[in-house]
Each structure stands twice: as structure tokens, then as C-alpha cells.
């Protein structure tokens, strides 16, 4: 039977959480899919773990290490179905995810892709994401890249042809390659967001988010600049040229640094909370408030008044 959905799971040394991720995908209420696991040169036995699972829907592709974008693009190339669902190696799709997303995208023939909201979880507890997202199960909205920001890659559900038409992910934008793809997909056509949580996003201290945080902030600003240049039908700037063209005055740089530090401390506060380290949570939250009191206090108030 030809699969209706290709689930693409990029893997690099993912044995710690991979089994849980794959089990959740194999337990989906929608059954007609292929599960394409791209092992990007793992050295920890990830491929052996995948091979140990006896399910004919799993297809393992092994390649030399080329990075996340290369693995994702290989998955897009390998997909045999008209729809692609992405799932990273450590995130958990809820049982109805594929069924819900397929039904929505089939009912919206002009839409190229669909993302969803998500919850967060760590070593000790979960989080509703109420400080950032107001859940409205069943409600669909059009994606506005600058307003909505970067959506979680593990919630992506898109038409295979659309991802191929925009040439997939671009390594130069890593670790903001998700947002770059979302911008370009939205420029190519309509992209939707389902305002209900279909994925649980795992927070853990080994995530690249922390190691690459400073680079992520610069790449984020570059991603926005490239999007705005395309809107003006101007050529994109290479990253180093973009950095060289940034304002040199100390006030602008100080403001950027202050806001970046607020984001980092808020992220670390969330990590500590999900890991059950409440004193460390309070310390990081206090630091985030010092760097950006208006934004952080607004998020705290929104969290406290959420259902």
C-alpha cells in the first residue's frame, strides 16, 4: 500500500530518547504512513535501535554525517507520500497528531503546510506553554511569520511537493533553519496553524539551543532580514555581510544584548522548572526580569490568568 504520509525523523546519536519517540509515532491513530528515519552518521547505536523495532512501516536510511538540514533534506528526497510530517528524535507526537493534521490539510486544498501548538516537558514535569500560546482546540489560523515567530519543527506537516519546490532546509541558516523554511513556505503559499497541542516538546540540557544560543540570536535577525529583502525583491545578504552592516553604536548593541540575555535566562528558567529545580528557576526568572521586565512580567501575568 502506498503511504499517505511520510514521517521524517532525523537522528544523530539519539538512543537516549529515540525509542520513546518512535513508539509514539507507531501508536498513531492514523496508520497508513511510512516512518523514514535518517541516521546522520550516528556513533551510538541509533541504527541498531531502529532495526530492533519490527514494523514494516519503518525505513532506515543511513548516511555520512552532514548535519540536521542535510538529514532533513534527505528525508524530503526519500519521501514516497504526498504529505511529510517532521518529528525530531526526542519529541513526542500525541496519538491523534497525524489524523488531525491530515484532516485539516485535506480540507484546505490551497494550503501548503500546517503547524500546531505544543506543550513542553522535562525530566520531572510538563508545562502547558500558557505563557506563549492560548490554546483553542479545533481553531485554525493563518501563519504570520513575523507575528507568530518560529514554530516548532516537530509539528510541521506539509505537502511534499511544496517542500521540494522551495528546496527544503538551508544549512547556512542553522540553527534558525526552521524559521527560514517557514518564512519561505509562507511566501510560496498559505500556511496554517492549528491552535491545539499535538506534540510534546522535550526540554533537556544537552539540546543545541544552549550551546548555540548567541549564534541563534544573530541568525534569527539575519533570517528576518533575508525575508524582508525577498519581499522587496532584493538579493539576500551573506551572513558575514549582514553582521558587518549591523549598527555599531553602543546603545543598539547594548539593547540587543540585554534582550538576548533575557531570552536566555527565561529559557533556562523553563529548563530548571521542568527538571524540578525550583530555586534555580527563581534565580533565572529574576535575572530575566532584570534584563527585560516588561516582556517577562507580561508573560508571567498571562501564565497566571490562563485556564
**% of the chain surpassing 70 pLDDT:** 95
- Whether 174 maps to a domain, the answer reads yes
Instruction: Report the domain count for the chain.
Output: 2
Q: In terms of domains, do 133 and 244 share one?
A: no
Residue 72 — pLDDT band, cuts 50, 70, 90?
very high
- Whether 209 maps to a domain, the answer reads no
Count CA atoms within 13 Å of residue 247 on its CB side: 10
Handedness of CA 187, 140, 201, 295 (dihedral sign): positive
Between residues 127 and 146, the one the model is more confident about? 146
User: Could you report the per-residue pLDDT of 77-98, keeping only the tens digit for each?
Assistant: 999 999 999 999 999 999 999 9
- Whether 284 maps to a domain, the answer reads yes
Residue with cell 489560523: 141
pLDDT at residue 163 greater than cutoff 90: yes
pLDDT of residue 299: 73
Q: In terms of domains, do 44 and 192 share one?
A: yes
- Whether 210 maps to a domain, the answer reads no
- Whether 241 maps to a domain, the answer reads yes
In angstroms, what CA-CA distances link 57 with 5, 45, 86? 11, 20, 16
Q: In terms of domains, do 177 and 223 share one?
A: no
Q: In terms of domains, do 196 and 267 share one?
A: no
Q: In terms of domains, do 78 and 155 share one?
A: yes
pLDDT at residue 210 greater than cutoff 80: no
Domain final position from 173, 202, 231: 202
User: Could you report the per-residue pLDDT of 212-249, keeping only the tens digit for each?
Assistant: 788 899 999 999 999 999 999 999 999 999 999 988 78
pLDDT of residue 47: 97
pLDDT of residue 96: 98
- Whether 207 maps to a domain, the answer reads no
pLDDT at residue 284 greater than cutoff 60: yes
- Whether 266 maps to a domain, the answer reads yes
Q: What are phi and psi of 279, to 5 degrees?
A: -65, -45
pLDDT at residue 307 greater than cutoff 60: no
- Set of cell numbers at residue 198: 499535538
Q: In terms of domains, do 227 and 195 share one?
A: no
pLDDT of residue 254: 84
Q: In terms of domains, do 102 and 231 share one?
A: no
Domain final position from 134, 167, 202: 202
Between residues 49 and 257, the one the model is more confident about? 49
Q: In terms of domains, do 251 and 184 share one?
A: no
Average confidence score pLDDT of the chain: 92
Q: What average pLDDT does this structure show over 139-157?
A: 96
In angstroms, what CA-CA distances link 259 with 145, 173, 179, 265, 290? 20, 21, 19, 10, 10
pTM: 0.91
Residue 294 — pLDDT band, cuts 50, 70, 90?
confident
Please report, for the domain that includes residue 185, its CATH number.
Answer: 3.90.550.10
Q: In terms of domains, do 155 and 254 share one?
A: no
pLDDT of residue 10: 98
Q: What average pLDDT does this structure show over 287-302?
A: 80
pLDDT of residue 126: 87
Of 215, 147, 220, give the one whose Cα is nearest residue 180: 220
Residue 303 — pLDDT band, cuts 50, 70, 90?
low
213: enclosing H helix or E strand: helix 213-231
Q: Which domain holds residue 148?
A: 5-202
On the question of a cis peptide bond just before residue 48, with omega within 30 degrees of 0, the verdict is no
Q: Annotate 285-294 with b (16+ C-beta within 10 A) or e (fewer).
A: bebbbebbee
pLDDT of residue 171: 95
pLDDT at residue 184 greater than cutoff 60: yes
Residue 304 — pLDDT band, cuts 50, 70, 90?
low
Amino acid at each position: 500500500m502506498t503511504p499517505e504520509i511520510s514521517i521524517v525523523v532525523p537522528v544523530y546519536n539519539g538512543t537516549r530518547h529515540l525509542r520513546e519517540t518512535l513508539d509514539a509515532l507507531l501508536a498513531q491513530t492514523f496508520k497508513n504512513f511510512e516512518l523514514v528515519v535518517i541516521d546522520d552518521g550516528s556513533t551510538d547505536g541509533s541504527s541498531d535501535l531502529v532495526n530492533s523495532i519490527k514494523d514494516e512501516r519503518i525505513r532506515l536510511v543511513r548516511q555520512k554525517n552532514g548535519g540536521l538540514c542535510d538529514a532533513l533534506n534527505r528525508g524530503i528526497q526519500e519521501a514516497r507520500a504526498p504529505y511529510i510530517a517532521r518529528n525530531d528524535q526526542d519529541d513526542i507526537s500525541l496519538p491523534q497528531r497525524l489524523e488531525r493534521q491530515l484532516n485539516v490539510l485535506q480540507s484546505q486544498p490551497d494550503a501548503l503546510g500546517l503547524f500546531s501548538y505544543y506543550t513542553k516537558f522535562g525530566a520531572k514535569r510538563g508545562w502547558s506553554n500558557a505563557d506563549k500560546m492560548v490554546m483553542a482546540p479545533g481553531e485554525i489560523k493563518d501563519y504570520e511569520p513575523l507575528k507568530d515567530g518560529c514554530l516548532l519543527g516537530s509539528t510541521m506537516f506539509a505537502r511534499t511537493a511544496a517542500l521540494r519546490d522551495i528546496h527544503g532546509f538551508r544549512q547556512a541558516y542553522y540553527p534558525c533553519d526552521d524559521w527560514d523554511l517557514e518564512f519561505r513556505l509562507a511566501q510560496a503559499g498559505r500556511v496554517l496553524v492549528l491552535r491545539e497541542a499535538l506534540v510534546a516538546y522535550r526540554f533537556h540540557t544537552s539540546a543545541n539551543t544552549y550551546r548555540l544560543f548567541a549564534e541563534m540570536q544573530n541568525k534569527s535577525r539575519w533570517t528576518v532580514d533575508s525575508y524582508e529583502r525577498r519581499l522587496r525583491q532584493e538579493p539576500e545578504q551573506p551572513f558575514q555581510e549582514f553582521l558587518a552592516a549591523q549598527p555599531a553604536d553602543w546603545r543598539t548593541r547594548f539593547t540587543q544584548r540585554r534582550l538576548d540575555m533575557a531570552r536566555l535566562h527565561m529559557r533556562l528558567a523553563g529548563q530548571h522548572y521542568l527538571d524540578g529545580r525550583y530555586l534555580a528557576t527563581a534565580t533565572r526568572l529574576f535575572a530575566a526580569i532584570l534584563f527585560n521586565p516588561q516582556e517577562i512580567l507580561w508573560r508571567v501575568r498571562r501564565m497566571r490568568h490562563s485556564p
